[in-house]
Structure 1
Amino acid sequence: MEHLVSLVDNPLMLARLSNQYIRLLSEFKDEKLKDALLENYQLNLQAKKEEQKRGRQSLALKMELEESQYQQKKIMAQNERLRYTSELDGFTGIYHKKAFQEHADELIKKVNQHNWGALLILDIDHFKEVNDTYGHLAGDEAILRIVDIMKKVLQTGDICGRIGGDEFSIFLCGLAQEAQVQKIMQSILKQVHEIRLPGLDMTLTMSIGCCLIQKPCSFTHIYQHSDQALYKAKEKGRNQAYLYKEQFCIQEN
């Protein structure tokens, strides 16, 4: 019986099986037995149809749910890409000023005496002269080369951004001593000094101002100190890094 019922998956077999089964039942002389067997067959057949119907409905619902989940993930991924690209400077591909500040704010909150942070402000020396003498294409190429240098010094968790035409910023995390910051700044200065561009006869240099912190403070507070340090670096002759004298930012009320 179960074998016969299982064959009705093919609708074309249904009528043929029913006729064969009815002819088979006609061989029985006991009318009550025939009626009972026929009723049992019909009940099993109906149960099989209902099971198939539920199976199709369940499959349809599963497919619909999977499609809905796929579309949701797709939309979330698109939104994440849009959010990320909206934070980037269109030319350099690093954070623009607003996005850099927002991310730096979050990193500053994690600073403590075992996990120092440092904000660097970097400015290309005499950049106007580069543009005026060699053209904006040369200036653009210089910016891109410098951004590549900045990216290479970043460790996990560090960020960099463009906060002006020729002014950039870096936030370093996970520091334990001043020497680490000094080493990074000197590495940047050295690599920038070694940049060679076709048709550019002048040597590129940068000035860097830095403020080192070991407790949370406002971004404005640390930025002001780094900016003061940058001014000192330029005042002392450019092509150098200057660390703000009050090395540790005081917690603001």
Structure 2
Amino acid sequence: MNSIFLKSAAVAFASVAASLLLTLIVVPAMGFPVSRTIWLSSTVCPLVLAWVASASTFWQSDRLKSAHRELARAHAQLAAAHRRLQEKASRDDMTGMLNRESFFAALDGSRRKSDRGALLIIDADHFKRINDSFGHLTGDEALLLIASAIERGVRGGDILGRIGGEEFAAYLIGATEQEAKRVAERIRREVELIRFRPVDERTIPLTVSIGGTLCGEDAHVSDLMRAADRRLYQAKHRGRNLTILDADIQAAA
């Protein structure tokens, strides 16, 4: 408010100065004397009119700037809320990993940038037995432990998702065959090391079977999934707690 008053005063006094200057030039040039009334009119009228008009203009301008700031703040908050909603919609509620749809979208996007990499499908072994024996809440606890183990096993920047009830997937960006084997085996080992004791002191073993495939240059996501699924089936068929990448078998330690 003080700034509006000062700016309006400056405009008003400038208007008075301009009015008096014109009066001193124009009135004598027309052959009239500069009387007290003319002096008063040349001072008071521009002072009042300019002050009121400029104050109103500056006030409206300040209100408009304030409205623009509020609008920008509201827009930023709305954009942030929208990003949070998008992020929440893309995540699995329980594990925080990407859900199935978002994982495959991220996989497809990464494949467009770099052809090299490996896809792993990770499935919890005998998980129905845990749900049937201890209930689904205990099963959820086991899944969270397995999800944490998978996160410890992958590298920074790899894409993780929960693509089924007890099935996870990892896309190892830019991984070679040897890197993919090391990561897959590290995940398997991290899960195997979990000491899960849902009741009493008895430890319930948790293991995973992992099927993986290297990503060929022209392979589609559906082709990669089928290839990794076949390796996962082989791991299950050969006794579980195994990692199989393409045709090679990494036996449990």
TM-score, scaled to structure 1:
0.78
Counterpart CA distance in 2 for 1:62 and 1:142 is 56
| Amino acid of the structure 1 residue aligned with 2:130 | V
Instruction: Answer with 166-175 or 32-41: which moved more.
Output: 32-41
Task: Count matched residues.
Answer: 219
Counterpart CA distance in 1 for 2:74 and 2:50 is 36
Aligned to 2:114: 111
Aligned to 2:184: 185
Counterpart CA distance in 1 for 2:202 and 2:224 is 35
Matches within 5 A, 1:26-41: 32=35, 35-41=38-44
Pair 1:44 & 2:47 matched: yes
Instruction: Answer with 222-231 or 34-43: which moved more.
Output: 34-43
Aligned to 1:160: 160
After TM superposition, give the deviation of residue 33 of structure 1 in Å: 5.0
CA contact (8 A) 2:196 2:205 kept: no
Counterpart CA distance in 1 for 2:184 and 2:123 is 12
CA contact (8 A) 2:162 2:169 kept: yes
After TM superposition, give the deviation of residue 31 of structure 1 in Å: 5.8
Aligned to 2:221: 219
In angstroms, what is the RMSD of aligned CA positions? 2.5
Matches within 5 A, 1:12-31: none
After TM superposition, give the deviation of residue 236 of structure 1 in Å: 2.0
**Cα pair distance change 1:158/1:236, threshold 3 Å:** same
Counterpart CA distance in 2 for 1:125 and 1:90 is 22
Residues 38-63 of structure 1, C-alpha deviations (whole Å, 9 max, x = no match): 41342133223222211111111111
- In structure 1, runs of 5+ residues without a counterpart are 10-29, 247-253
CA contact (8 A) 2:117 2:172 kept: yes
Counterpart CA distance in 1 for 2:229 and 2:148 is 22
Aligned to 1:18: none
Counterpart CA distance in 1 for 2:50 and 2:78 is 42
| Amino acid of the structure 1 residue aligned with 2:132 | D
After TM superposition, give the deviation of residue 100 of structure 1 in Å: 1.3
CA contact (8 A) 2:123 2:210 kept: yes
Counterpart CA distance in 2 for 1:80 and 1:49 is 46
Counterpart CA distance in 2 for 1:72 and 1:140 is 39
**Cα pair distance change 1:216/1:51, threshold 3 Å:** farther
TM-score, scaled to structure 2:
0.78
**Cα pair distance change 1:8/1:187, threshold 3 Å:** same
CA contact (8 A) 2:118 2:174 kept: no
| Amino acid of the structure 1 residue aligned with 2:71 | S
